[in-house]
Amino acid sequence: MEEIEVEWERLRLNDEESIPIPMDFGNMEELRKKGERSLVGRICSDRTIGKETVRKMMEKIWRVNMSMEFNEIGTNTFVVTFANCGDRNRVLAGCPWLFDSHLFALKPFDGSTQAHLLDFTTAIFWIQMHNLPLGGMNCKMGELIGKSIGKVLEVEGEENEVTWGRFLRVKVECDLTKPLARGRTVSFEGTQLWIPFRYENLPRICFRCGCIMHSKKGCLGEELGDTNEDTNSKQFGVWMRAKTVRRNHTYRQPKASGMERNSTNTDQGENGEEVRDRGVLRKEKGSMEDGVETTEVIEMTKAFEKQKMIHIRDF
């Protein structure tokens, strides 16, 4: 497709070809309503995936109330139309999502942009910032470090309050064409400290260059000085992937965004499935195969209820 577009740019249009034809979108109100229920998405994978395969899998992951409409507009690129705005907004708020461990980047529907010009070079991630001094675990520090990565959308915790814990969580819009940030060096009371990052729901990445998406130039590993094929010497790895967490805290969004506080965040499981607290006792068990982390979810509710009923009868 890119080669054809290059050829198109070289064309010299004649008089008939260069006369603009006014576009008629038809029923604009109907288009607007449908657009409000729609998202555009792209699966960041070199393998071409059929729309029905994607639709069936994502319906299970997203747990939508009614069937979705998938329309393919490019290679691994789709317009997803939901039955209602509630499902659409919930799915968008739950980003990032994975399909077979590949990133499924989602954006709001934009009917004025040509399909091949849709920008999927950014994605939103919850980043865990580890090893911060306890005195620096606050929203202000989270915003300060987060801005060095990308656009900060939310920081876990209340404004002007210390958020003590194992790490500080910051929601950042990251540039997919650049290597993922592994951490930042901070200066605290005259001492330089390394603050490592871990990404929740991190998709497959290139262990040589640290990118989720390769540019037209290909892998940047050699430019970054990585010419060794030994996976043990890679500068990026599965250690950058964090365990999914469920929180009931309030998230504070930067004042510049002009948005109000958000409540509980919806998380996605280790293998792309949505994790919800429905009173179901679950255990998550992870494994590592060929550098790709998989997860098996084991539900124990039925066994628990059966055991409880036996005790009641014995009594």
Distance CA 245, CA 130 (A): 14
Q: Within 13 Å and on the Cβ side, how many CA atoms surround 156?
A: 21
The whole-angstrom separation of Cα 93 and Cα 87 is 10
pTM of structure:
0.69
> What is the CATH number that goes with domain 26-117?
3.30.70.330
The Cα angle at residue 305 between residues 302 and 306, in degrees rounded to 5: 85
User: pLDDT, tens digit, for every residue of 207-226?
Assistant: 888 888 876 666 766 655 55
Instruction: Measure the CA–CA gap between 274 and 244, rounded to whole angstroms.
Output: 10
Number of H helices, E strands in the chain: 7, 16
Mean pLDDT of the chain: 76
68 sits in which H/E element: none
The Cβ of residue 240 has, within 10 Å, a number of other Cβ atoms equal to 19
pLDDT at 238 over 60: yes
Over residues 65-90, the mean pLDDT reads 91
What is the pLDDT, as a whole number, of residue 58?
A: 94
Among 156, 200, 197, which Cα is nearest to 180's? 197
Confidence of residue 303 (pLDDT cuts 50, 70, 90): very low
Q: What is the pLDDT of residue 265?
A: 44
**Is 60 exceeded by the pLDDT of residue 1?**
no
d(CA 132, CA 189): 13
pLDDT tens-place string over residues 122-158: 999 999 999 999 888 899 999 999 999 999 999 987 7
Q: What distance in Å separates the CA atoms of residue 68 and residue 64, rounded to the nearest whole number?
A: 8
| 248 φ/ψ angles, rounded to the nearest 5 degrees | -115, 15
pLDDT level of residue 249 (50, 70, 90 thresholds): very low
pLDDT reported for residue 186: 93
Residue 262's pLDDT band, with cuts at 50, 70 and 90, is: very low
Is the separation of the CB atoms in 62 and 91 below 8 Å? yes
Q: Higher-confidence residue: 14 or 108?
A: 108
Of 65-69, 161-165, 201-205, 229-233, the range with the highest mean pLDDT is 201-205
> Does the pLDDT at position 16 exceed 50?
yes
Residue 122 vs residue 286, higher pLDDT: 122
In this prediction, residues 44-58 reach a mean pLDDT of: 91
Considering only 182-191, 197-206, 240-249, which range has the smallest mean pLDDT?
Answer: 240-249
Across the range 256-279, mean pLDDT stands at 43
What is the predicted pLDDT for the residue at 263?
Answer: 41
Alpha-carbon gap, residue 106 to 90, rounded angstroms: 12
- Is it true that the peptide bond before 133 is cis, omega within 30 degrees of 0? no
Where do we find the tokens 């060096």?
A: 185
- Locate the domains of the chain by residue range: 26-117, 122-257, 278-308
Distance set, CA 70 to CA 39, 42, 81, 119 (Å) = 10, 12, 7, 19
Integer Cα distance of 217 and 18 in angstroms? 33
* Beta pairing partners, 99: 102
**pLDDT band with cut points at 50, 70 and 90 for residue 11:** confident
Nearest to 1 by CA among 116, 112, 120: 116
Q: How far is CA 129 from the centre of its chain?
A: 17
Q: Check whether 191 has a pLDDT greater than 70.
A: yes
Which residues pair with residue 82 across a beta bridge?
none
Dihedral sign for Cα 206, 211, 213, 214, please: negative
Confidence of residue 272 (pLDDT cuts 50, 70, 90): very low
Check whether 277 has a pLDDT greater than 50.
Answer: no
Give the pLDDT score at 260: 42
Please give the share of the chain, as a percent, with pLDDT higher than 90. 40
Give the pLDDT confidence score for residue 169 in this predicted structure: 94
